[in-house]
Amino acid sequence: MKTIAKERVDEITKQTAEPAWLKDSRLKAFESYLKTPTPCNRDENWHRTEVDSLDLTTLNVIVSDSKEVKAGKEPDVIAAALAHLGKQLPFIYTTPQSVEIGNADSALLSKGVIFCSLKTALTQHADLLNKYLSSGDLSTPDFAHNDKFYLMNQSLFNCGAFFYVPKNVILESPVLNVFTSGEESSIAVFPRVIIIVEDGAKAEFVNISTSARKTATDNTALSLINSSIETVVGQGATLSYLDVSDFSDNTFAVSRVYNEVKRDASLHSSTIALGGWQIKSDIQTNLKEPGAKSDIRGVVLGAGSERYSFNTIQDHIAPDTSSTINFRVALKDSSSSAYLGTIRVSKQGQRTDSTQSNKNLLLGANAHADSIPKLEILADDVKCSHGATVGPADKEQIFYLMSRGLNNLEAEELIVTGFFRQVVQSCPVDGAGDWINNLVAEKILSSKKA
Amino acid sequence: MAAREPLLKIEDLWVSVEGKDILKGVNLTINPGEVHAIMGRNGSGKSTLSYTLMGHPRYQITGGSIIFKGEEIGELPPNERAKKGLALAFQYPVAIPGVSVSNFLRASVKAVRGKDIPVKEFRQELKAQMALLEVKDEFLSRYINDGFSGGEKKRLEILQMTLLKPALAVLDETDSGLDIDALKVVSTGINTLATKETAVLLITHYQRILNYVKPDFVHVFQSGQIVKTGGSELSEELEARGYDWVTQELTPSGVA
């Protein structure tokens, strides 16, 4: 992997007229970035991802400096989401060329709730952001120390969103943050999303990332989408986060999610990965104070030669915290997945209650799945369990469904949505279940017969 | 009966599983609306015949032909056979976790009939058949055969047959594992199913179900072949005298 020149960082800070503290933080991250070795597939965490083929010097780092405009007609990707989740939900739609804001008059955005692009936040709410980004209060995730892509994002982030829910404000519907790289290729984009839910508040956030499905067979022009998502769930607060990504097969998508869950707070997070050349996603959740709870779910549907690598880390720092993880992966054709799930319990983390489950369904004859659980437990009074399965689709199920008139793909679609159901139906965002089922069905039914 | 095209004509059918011959020259003709029963011991190849008719990939046809509605179907995938009007009620239907009965039934009926049915109309039709089979509403939201009792599984199979209204319903040991009350209910379902439009091929091990469902023809299956054919009186004779009687009749020395 070739590296990025420092001028890129200077360009970004110049064009976006950012506060000085932010420029410092970008440069600091860039220095660490330079010092951090490029991952290679000998690293446990990277052994299913091919990094060498990524040449960052050829990528055009997008600096969108365009004005934010009110959205005209909703793009299809948003219309489909709104149809299931609620017509009037506020959204931010970011493309390499523009940022559009929709339904900003929604009642959700009252009582001091802020939902805006990161750029707007940096000019209008710089102090608020500064409080969270540069105070020593926020414990930094593992990737801040050793992850080249995370540091790349922290120095170069050039779009994204900010969502702030003040104390005791209860929101029963989500806001939508939608990013698309459109049909552009050879671009590098660094979205950054910051979600702060203050003490006693309740909020929902839907993050959608896509690129236009490629029609050409040209597979050489790659794009990098390198995202960072940070959430802070305050004391007694609840955040439901839903992430849906569907990239084209020339996109290398890296995402780093860092969740911080405070006393008696709850985080529900569902990640739905439906496409991309390579998807490399790390989700770290720090349960920082007693009573903190997290519920992390994932659905991966691979096809073609897509590669997925998910790495979850549950860090039980305080006593009396609990976490559940449920990842389900279905792989068609010669797609592959590696799941690495770490449960970490500190010495102080007594009475931790943690379960982790990862199930893999192999539909394609050449599909491949790895599942690696890792337990690092230093406390002696804990309840931790983990389970993993990898197995082919049941031929008798396929035959049964086909004997009732369904063709091969229709049978597969029912079996896969059934396999995902346990994870999908419990997503706390209203209407999300049907929406996700539809997206899954679309991907299966549009694929070629194996 | 006037001369007409048979619904199903199986001629000298040979089938093997993993290289081993299981069916060894089956001949069977079924006309529209007829009820046939095939009786035989366990392991005689009865279920192989039902799976082969439906097109299970494990069963290799090595000789002979299956003509259904005038067309050779031996090469067709199972869903194409279903659309032509063939249906199989499984002896051991599989569970499919996460897929609700109602979603599945609707997808299935849509696929077989080749068109979507309005939800309301479908509900009405479904409710009528469910009442007949004494199936509770909560059935619909459960996952296919997941945690179903033996009797529930068989009812769901017959329920599907009555919804799909095939030209030929093959019922593979639908009576096995049922208590007498369930047997009566399922038999009522089968009798409703068996009309001028729907012929039934009832594969069974016991004579018991034939007290409730009267076949036009009874065939005795043995060692991968139909060895004897008669009217419904044949089943009573089998019940009274056992399968050995057929064996002895066929091999006078008594050596099967």
To the nearest whole angstrom, how far is the Cα of A218 from the nearest Cα of chain B? 35
The domain that contains B26 carries what CATH number? 3.40.50.300
Q: If you ran DSSP here, which 8-state letter would residue A223 be given?
A: E
Whether A33 has its CB under 8 Å from any CB of chain B: the answer is no
Q: How far apart are CA A388 and CA A343, in angstroms?
A: 14
DSSP state string for A265-314: -EEEEEEEE---SEEEEEEEEEE-STT-EEEEEEEEEE-TT-EEEEEEEE
Whether A395 has its CB under 8 Å from any CB of chain B: the answer is yes
More confident residue, A168 or A249: A168
pLDDT digit string (tens) for A88-136?
999 999 988 889 999 988 889 999 999 999 989 988 998 898 888 765 5
Rounded CA Rg of chain B = 18
pLDDT of residue A71: 74
Chain A residue numbers touching B96 (CB-CB < 8 A): 397, 400-401, 414-415, 418
Q: If you ran DSSP here, which 8-state letter would residue A214 be given?
A: P
pLDDT of residue B255: 45
Mutate to test the interface with B, among A299, A389, A398, A399 (most CBs of B within 10 A): A399
In chain A, the residue whose alpha carbon lies closest to the alpha carbon of B80 is A405
Q: With b meaning 16 or more CB within 10 Å and e meaning fewer, what string describes A384-416? A: bebebebeebeebbbbbbbbbbbbebbbbbbbb
- Give the type of residue at A365: A
Task: Assess if residue B171 is contained within a domain.
Answer: yes
Mutate to test the interface with B, among A299, A402, A445 (most CBs of B within 10 A): A402
Whether A398 has its CB under 8 Å from any CB of chain B: the answer is no
Chain B residue numbers touching A389 (CB-CB < 8 A): none
Task: Assess if residue B69 is contained within a domain.
Answer: yes
Chain B residue numbers touching A397 (CB-CB < 8 A): 94, 96
To the nearest whole angstrom, how far is the Cα of B93 from the nearest Cα of chain A? 7
In chain B, the residue whose alpha carbon lies closest to the alpha carbon of A424 is B98
Q: If you ran DSSP here, which 8-state letter would residue A108 be given?
A: G
Whether A280 has a pLDDT exceeding 80, the answer reads yes
In chain A, the residue whose alpha carbon lies closest to the alpha carbon of B161 is A404
Per-residue model confidence as pLDDT tens for chain B (256 residues): 445 789 999 999 999 999 999 999 999 999 999 999 999 988 889 999 999 999 999 999 999 999 999 999 999 999 999 999 999 999 999 999 999 999 999 999 999 998 888 889 899 999 999 998 888 899 999 999 999 999 999 999 999 999 999 999 999 999 988 889 889 999 999 999 999 999 999 999 888 899 899 999 999 999 999 999 999 888 888 888 878 777 777 665 544 4
Closest in A397, A410, A422 to B96, CB measured: A397
Whether A385 has its CB under 8 Å from any CB of chain B: the answer is no
Task: Assess if residue B255 is contained within a domain.
Answer: no
Q: With b meaning 16 or more CB within 10 Å and e meaning fewer, what string describes A147-169? A: bbbbbbbbbbbbbbbbbbbbeeb
Whether A422 has its CB under 8 Å from any CB of chain B: the answer is yes
What is the total count of domains within chain B? 1
Q: Confidence band (pLDDT; 50, 70, 90) for A138?
A: low
Chain B residue numbers touching A400 (CB-CB < 8 A): 90, 93-94, 96
Mutate to test the interface with B, among A326, A394, A401, A403 (most CBs of B within 10 A): A403
Sign of CA dihedral A171, A178, A228, A440: positive
Average pLDDT, whole number, for chain A?
89
Whether A408 has its CB under 8 Å from any CB of chain B: the answer is yes
Between A170-184, A305-319, A369-383, B22-36, the lowest mean confidence (pLDDT) is in A170-184
pLDDT of residue A297: 97
Asked if residue A90 lies in contact with residue A104, where contact means CB atoms within 8 angstroms, the answer is: yes
To the nearest whole angstrom, how far is the Cα of A431 from the nearest Cα of chain B? 17
Task: Assess if residue B238 is contained within a domain.
Answer: yes
Rounded CA Rg of chain A = 21
Q: Confidence band (pLDDT; 50, 70, 90) for A66?
A: low
The verdict on a CB contact (< 8 Å) between B78 and A402 is yes
ipTM over 0.90: yes
Kindly report the backbone phi and psi dihedral angles of residue A426, in degrees, each rounded to the nearest multiple of 5, phi listed first: -95, 5
Residues 158-217, chain B: which have Cβ within 8 Å of A?
160, 164
Task: Assess if residue B58 is contained within a domain.
Answer: yes
pLDDT of residue A26: 87
Asked if residue A265 lies in contact with residue A229, where contact means CB atoms within 8 angstroms, the answer is: no
pLDDT of residue B233: 87
pLDDT digit string (tens) for A404-420?
999 999 999 999 999 99
pLDDT of residue A161: 95
Task: Assess if residue B21 is contained within a domain.
Answer: yes
Q: Confidence band (pLDDT; 50, 70, 90) for A28?
A: confident
DSSP three-state, residue A220: coil
The verdict on a CB contact (< 8 Å) between A418 and B143 is yes
Whether A396 has its CB under 8 Å from any CB of chain B: the answer is yes
Mutate to test the interface with A, among B94, B100, B156 (most CBs of A within 10 A): B94
Task: Assess if residue B256 is contained within a domain.
Answer: no
Closest in B93, B98, B111 to A405, CB measured: B111
The verdict on a CB contact (< 8 Å) between A415 and B96 is yes
Q: How far apart are CA B155 and CA B165, in angstroms?
A: 15
Q: How far apart are CA A103 and CA B121, in angstroms?
A: 38
pLDDT digit string (tens) for A346-357?
999 999 999 999
Closest in B82, B90, B93 to A405, CB measured: B82
Closest in A406, A417, A418 to B108, CB measured: A406
Domain that holds residue B12: 8-250
Burial of B137 (C-beta count, 10 Å sphere; 0-12/13-18/19+)? exposed
Q: How far apart are CA A279 and CA A338, in angstroms?
A: 10
Burial of A368 (C-beta count, 10 Å sphere; 0-12/13-18/19+)? middle
pLDDT digit string (tens) for A158-169?
899 999 999 999
Task: Assess if residue B243 is contained within a domain.
Answer: yes
Counting residues of chain A whose pLDDT is more than 70, the rounded percentage is 93
Whether A422 has a pLDDT exceeding 50, the answer reads yes
Triad B121, B69, B10: Cα angle to 5°: 125
Asked if residue A390 lies in contact with residue A371, where contact means CB atoms within 8 angstroms, the answer is: yes
The verdict on a CB contact (< 8 Å) between A396 and B111 is no
